[in-house]
Amino acid sequence: MRFLHTSITVRNMDESLRFYTEVLGLKFERRHPIPENHAEIAFVQDPESGGRIELTYWEGKETFEPGEQLDHLAFEVDDMDAFLGKVRARGVKVAKEPYSLQGGTGRLAFVLDPNDVWIELIERSPRGR
């Protein structure tokens, strides 16, 4: 398993991108809509460490409770089914079963940590690696 990124929920995508790129100096990678989730995402990366942040804007989300800004942590797994079998055996709750996004290159799933933080699992197809 390999750590990929941390996702945070943002109130305004343009303002957030300006902050992370112009103020903090992170490098813009890409930005695109996720129509089936009514969301838009963008990735920025620290050029020194390689660490990535996914900025997630949820259409229609107008209220934010303290602590909601952390959306999820993402890890890449080689074999989604084997990994989910292993974590289920340890009592880990699967919050969202494996699925693919339209035009995606693999499968996604979400599990919950003991604090109910969402952990995204990404299994890329061979062509998406």
Tell me the percentage of the chain whose pLDDT exceeds 70: 97
pLDDT at 24: 87
Confidence of residue 41 (pLDDT cuts 50, 70, 90): very high
- Report which of 111, 12, 8 is spatially closest to residue 53, judged by C-alpha positions: 8
pLDDT at 129: 47
Residues 6+ apart with CB under 8 A from 75: 1, 2, 3, 4, 119, 120, 121, 122
Query: Is pLDDT above 90 for 117?
Result: no
- 52-58 vs 2-9, strand pairing mode: parallel
Residues 15, 76, 120, 123: which is the catalytic one? 120
User: Mean pLDDT, to the nearest integer, of 86-104?
Assistant: 92
Look up the CATH superfamily of 77-129: 2,3-Dihydroxybiphenyl 1,2-Dioxygenase, domain 1 (3.10.180.10)
User: Higher pLDDT residue, 66 or 38?
Assistant: 38
Q: Is 120 a catalytic residue?
A: yes
Which residue ranges does the chain devote to CATH 3.10.180.10? Answer: 1-64, 77-129
For the chain, the 3-state helix, strand and coil shares in percent, each to the nearest 5, are 20, 45, 35
Quote the pTM value. 0.77
1-64 CATH choice from 3.20.20.70, 3.10.200.10, 3.10.180.10, 3.30.720.210: 3.10.180.10
